[in-house]
Amino acid sequence: QSALTQPPSASGSPGQSVTISCTGTSSDVGGYNYVSWYQQHPGKAPKLMIYEVTKRPSGVPDRFSGSKSGNTASLTVSGLQAEDEADYYCSSYAVNNNWVFGGGTKLTVL
């Protein structure tokens, strides 16, 4: 099972919006609506931000939103804030009871 493809970096100024992509195949992202997104600050454990493509856990700001088209999922962060600077990882359920992560995207708030 290959890792999902994410851009290594993304950036935006405070108040702007930024979108991070996550590309897989029909065996993972494209085949199931089970894409999740995680935020990880340096030295910390990942935190679930989006699950099942578009859903936000309680406590996650509505500035974070998810979507999917075909084999590519996306995370959009609107109204960027300094605390949004972190690494972001996508994950997807994959065929035969597997889970696969993306390589991660470092989001910089300029």
Partner 1 sequence: QLQLQESGPGLVKPSETLSLTCSVSGGFISSSSYYWGWIRQPPGKGLEWIGTIYYSGSTYYSPSLKSRVTMSVDTSKNQFSLKLTSVTAADTAVYYCARQRGYSFNYWGQGTLVTVSS
Binding site for partner 1 (CB under 8 A): 1, 3, 32, 34, 36, 38, 45-48, 51-52, 57, 89, 91, 93, 97-104
Shortest Cβ 16–partner 1 spacing (Å): 25
DSSP character at residue 38:
E
Shortest Cβ 4–partner 1 spacing (Å): 10
Q: In 3D, which of 80, 86, 71 has the Cα closest to residue 9? A: 86
Shortest Cβ 42–partner 1 spacing (Å): 11
